[in-house]
Chains A and B, each alone.
Chain A
């Protein structure tokens, strides 16, 4: 079957990409294996939509806004199925309830999201009995299936998903004994810590690692290793793993990644022409709004590529240096402004982000930023600011 734009994944990024591509007049095929909205349908807390819709809403309401809009476009065909293979010639093999079909697309938007790290990927010893689940699985069990999953829990990881899971567990009647964090600082924004942990008096153990999970059939206790080498045993029957997520990249092995994963230009196009990537499939973020915003960019330019073969002729590179661990997009299309997301490798309370040229001269500075490793800092660059390759460095204001 033929289509202009093939969008793989119907989450926050894919929905926005499909709508944006259809708005430009392209015929769109959206493939989603589960329910439209992806992991957002598990999120019943109200922390979405501030940037995109200007009001705060729950994850489900956020998805509803997008699916309502999606149904207005007859150009979008939603396929409930799984992409089992994707070729560099933009053909995709899709297995759905009505069989296996091969789709030929003119442009592909990869919005397949991320997968959670499981306990097997952590360095945790012990017997690994029943009662260990990821934060996403715990949220799904409680919010979608309405199950009670334990009585006393330990949460590994203080990122956004760990804190959300800790709060939901508490409200569902599960006592959260503690949240452990490997690093000496919390991976989330201070407001999340207040709203999810401090409000419910859940202790956050920094520089602490779960080293062992014990139990015969069900989890009985965990051993937490603190920074000084002391060990602490906590009785619990549930371990929730929220140790971060990784982009799902099994499909697009033929796209050559850079040092820090796949690199894109500010149109979200990868180095393979016609393949666009957006959302958590590109890099993992906490909020859905930025993901949808990126999806909108990717969908729009994918439609332009599919219909008019328009690609960016020239782009300038942005290179992270010093405390800046990564940034997206890595290439800024010449003559256009772009929003750049910057991540740092340690918290800087009063930071200044400097953009320098090859000789070390500062071209542009952004002052008074608070940067934390758990969340990206977004900065809008004007077209006039970027006229050459730039190096990005985060400096501390004293």
Chain B
């Protein structure tokens, strides 16, 4: 089956969320983990350079960025684009992403190729 692009839009304003189940500490830690994995590279850079790093840390691509949540590298400002064979699979990817937590909803739309 050919792969198809899907757009996943997260709907998560605080009012909409407050009706759902309160996010658990464990879920929140998972969400924070992705950021911390990304942050690692800057820490190493500072150590390597003996603390002489100036403003605007410029860092080369580093394998530490590719943490367990690679698919989420595409998330920008509440949406992501995933490439899967079926809508079901796209929904599954969206569900697994750390940005999605109880109470938030995700709208998944097929992106037409024409």
Same complex = no
